[in-house]
Amino acid sequence: MTRTSTLAEIMTALRSTPKHKDSGITAINMQGGKVQNGWQRLLPDGHFKAVDGRPFDTLSGYWYLDEAAAKQIIAKVHQTQTELVIDYEHQTLLSQQNGHPAPAAGWFKDIEWREGSGLWVKPHWTKRALEFLASGEYRYLSAVFPYDKNSGSPSALHSAALVNRPGLDGVTEITALSANLTPQLSQPAKAPTPYPLVSLSAKEKSACYAANHSTNAYLSKRDLYCMKRGSNWAQLTALTPDDMNMIRYLGQDAASFQLAKIQLLAEEVLRS
């Protein structure tokens, strides 16, 4: 079996291609249960990021896929005469560097956008790949795509690979493709990396408790809340000149006023 490639090796290989030198490009693997009749979701719709925090170079801190971007990707896939390759551990990208062969695990050209779900593909697996999937030796599909650093939108599909290091939760666990799988072969999905609790103030924790929301769910909502407003949480909770005028008018303590503001904002985040 091909050795596991590091993300750094993959990124170096991708950026050695002149057309990708100055653009954002990434490899991201996904887990979950989104498989239907041989079709499986490759990328989700809307805003998404990897559990390791990527992307770090987009304005919003997220990738973003909508119907318009998906249609451009689909058109580019259909313009090529050959199918896109699915290899093992991104070896297609690395073979010139490490000298190892890059056998295909499968191929795909069937691709479609599903509103409210994302970008789906229908792979045609090799016999060897099906054996790996049936035995549980490979479980995840990793997509490689360039993206616009301003919008975070994927602009094309480079390739895909069978891997065993999930990077994006809730999308594609490909062991579900094999009808021969037994319950013993299934493995529990890897839990997403938790947000550090220290990033929550006492007022935010109180709001989460009152609304019966987990801190992870709240922080995910808070990220989107800030992104839609083009600001960060520290800026949104800071006292503005209007706040200071109100504090002076009411004769209130500034620290108490700010705590109340944080509480109100946290409750608005939970309602969003």
pLDDT in tens, 119-138: 999 999 999 988 888 888 88
| Buried b / exposed e along 62-81 (16+ C-beta atoms within 10 A) | bbbbeeebbeebbeebeeee
Q: Are 159 and 92 in contact (CB under 8 A)?
A: yes
d(CA 183, CA 226): 41
Q: Are 160 and 144 in contact (CB under 8 A)?
A: yes
* Pairing of β 84-88 and β 118-121: unpaired
Structure confidence at residue 160 (pLDDT): 86
For residue 12, give the H/E element and its range: helix 7-15
Among 218, 157, 170, which Cα is nearest to 49's? 170
Structure confidence at residue 232 (pLDDT): 80
Half-sphere exposure of 167 (CA within 13 A, CB side): 22
Sheet with 140-147: strands ordered across: 24-30, 140-147, 159-163, 84-88, 104-108, 124-125
Q: Are 1 and 85 in contact (CB under 8 A)?
A: no
Among 139, 131, 128, 132, which Cα is nearest to 40's? 139
Cis peptide before 55 (omega within 30 of 0): yes
- Tokens read off for 108: 């795909």
* Pairing of β 111-114 and β 159-163: unpaired
23 pLDDT above the threshold of 80: no
Taken in order 220, 222, 224, 230, the sign of the CA dihedral is negative
Structure confidence at residue 24 (pLDDT): 55
Half-sphere exposure of 182 (CA within 13 A, CB side): 2
29 or 48, higher pLDDT: 48
* Full DSSP string of 34-76: -EETTEEEEEESEEE--TT---SSSSSSSEEE-HHHHHHHHHH
21 or 51, higher pLDDT: 51
User: Phi and psi dihedrals of 243, rounded to 5?
Assistant: -60, -45
Q: For the chain, which residues make up each domain, given as ranges? A: 7-185, 197-271
pLDDT tens figures, 93-113:
777 777 888 899 999 999 999
Q: State the pLDDT confidence band at 143, using cuts at 50, 70 and 90.
A: confident
Structure confidence at residue 39 (pLDDT): 84
